[in-house]
Structure 1
C-alpha cells in the first residue's frame, strides 16, 4: 500500500516572544498561516521492522535527525507497530528557511501513517504527539491559520486571511533558530500586536493584515545578516504591499494583492536571488 501526503510551508504573520520559561523554551504568541508551497511525502510499507527516509535533497537527513523519522518512530513505539515504512520526501520547501519545512514533513508523516496503519487518531491527538517532536509540528498537523501559544503547541484556529499572493525569497545562507533566540533581548525588543493581526483577519481586511505584520526576531536576524535586510528592501522597492521575515529567517516574504504586481516583484527578485517563489496564501485546514 502506498499513500501520498502534502506538507505545506507556513509563514508567520505575527510573531511575539513574551518571556523565557523555566524549561528553557520561550513563551511565544504567533499567528501562522499556510502557503501553496509544499513538500510531498510518499509513504509505503516495506519488509522488516524499520524506518527508511529517502530524499533527493542532500540537506535532508535520513536518520533520527529527520523530524518525519521521529514522527514514525514515536507512532511505532506508542502503538507497538512492528511493520517497516519507507518515507520518500520530495523537497520543495527550502531547508532551514523559517518556513517550517521539517515540521510540516513530520506533520504529514503523522497524518499519513495514521492512515497507513489504521490508527484512527484525530487531528487533535496527532497534534498532541506532534508537540513532542517540535514547536511548529502541532500547527502543521492542522494547517490553515491559527494563533499558537506556549512553545507553539497551544493552537486556536482562526478564519482564512484575505486571499493574496505571497512572494518568498530565501538568500543563500542558513540561520540557526537557537542562535537567534539566544541573542534576543526582550527588554529592548519591539513587540508586534498579535491581537491587532487577529482582528485584521477576522475583519477580512487585506490592508490591516499588511499594516499589522510583525516579527520580534526580525531585527536580531537583520543585524547579523545584512543580506536579509537587503532582500527586504529590494522586495519593497519592487512593489510588495508589505514585507516581513518569516520565523527566525532567513526567508523574507512579501504580500501582493494583484497578479500584475506579483509578476513585477517576482521578476525583479529573480535577478539577484536564486530561491524565489510566487505562491498563493492557502489558509485552509487539512482535512481531518
Structure 2
C-alpha cells in the first residue's frame, strides 16, 4: 500500500476515425486508429484515512467531486473492494478540455491505475479496462495506451505496432465542442464513400512502418459535422499545411487539430504561425510534441 503517487495521464489523437453505423440503442459503432501523444495531465494522489474522495483541479471550469470522471473512477474501485480509506486527487490539466483528446477519460484511466496500485487491489490491466468502459468508451484505450484499432463503441481494442516517429503540432481554437452534439448531428447513411477513411489501409501502413502511407489516409468523418459549424478548424488545418505539415486532421469530435511534420524546424515555425494567427485570437493552446509508445508503467 502506498500513501502517495505521481501519475501522468496521456492524451490521444485519432489518426483515422470512421463511424460505421448508428445502433438502435443510440450509440454509434466506430472504427478508429487511436494514438497516444506525449502531452499529459499531471495527477497527484494521496491516501487519507477519513474515507472521503476529493478531486482538485487547476482550472475553475473543470468540475470537482462527482462531476469529475476521475472522482467516479476512484469511487468505482474503492466501492467494489470495500475500501474504507479515502483519497485526494489533484489534477493539473495541460490537455485541452472538451477538445477531442480524451482529457477526462485519460485522467480517469490514470486514477484507476493509481487506486489499483495505491491500495494493492491486484487488478490486471484487462480487468481495469473492463471496469473503465463503465466510465466512458475511451477509458479502456487510455489504460492501454500506444497505437490501437478501436471498434464497437470504442471498447473493442486491438494493439498495433508503433508508427514511425514524427513531430506533431497540436492546436485548439478558442472554442469547445460537445461530443454528444456532434454525433447527434452526424448522418452516417448520407456520407459519401470517399468521406469514410481507409482504416484497413492505414493499419497496413502502420504495420509496414510507412509514415507516408499513414499520412495519405488521415481521415475523420466527424469533420463533416464540426468543420462546417466551426470554420476556424479548417483555417488551422490550412495554416499547418502552409507551414510544412505533411498532413493535418481534426482529432475526435474536435475542435483540436494536429499536423504531422517530418522536421522539427518546420513544426516550430508552424507553432509560431498558429500563435500569431488572427492577432493571437485563433488558437487557445498550441503544443509541439510527438507520438508516445513507450510501454512504461505510470
TM superposition shift of 1:193: 1.1
Q: What runs of 5+ residues in structure 1 fail to find an aligned partner? A: none
Distance in 1 (CA, whole Å) between partners of 2:120 and 2:94 is 28
Unaligned 5+ residue runs, structure 2?
278-282
1:127-276 → structure 2 map (5 Å cutoff): 127-189=129-191, 190-272=195-277, 273-276=283-286
- Out of 14, 17, 28, which is 2:16 matched to? 14
Query: 1:110 aligns to what?
Result: 112
**Runs of 4+ that moved beyond 6 A:** none
Local SS of the residue matching 1:175: coil
| Secondary structure of 1:255's aligned partner | strand
Q: Report the TM-score, using the length of structure 1 for normalisation.
A: 0.97
CA shift, 1:274, in A, is: 3.3
Q: Verify the 8 A CA contact 2:35 2:146 in the aligned structure 1.
A: yes
Cα distance, 1:229 vs structure 2? 1.4
- Determine if the alignment matches structure 1 residue 280 to structure 2 residue 290: yes
For residues 254 and 14 of structure 1, the distance between their equivalents in structure 2, rounded to whole angstroms, comes to: 13
Superposition pairs for residues 46-125 of structure 1, below 5 Å?
Answer: 46-125=48-127
Question: How many pairs align?
Answer: 288
Contact 2:240/2:259 (CA < 8 Å) preserved in 1? yes
Structural RMSD (CA)? 1.1
- The alignment's TM-score, normalised by the length of structure 2, stands at 0.94
Q: Secondary structure at the match of 2:100?
A: coil
Rounded to whole Å, the distance in 2 between the matches of 1:2 and 1:255 is 37
Instruction: Return the offset for 1:47.
Output: 3.1
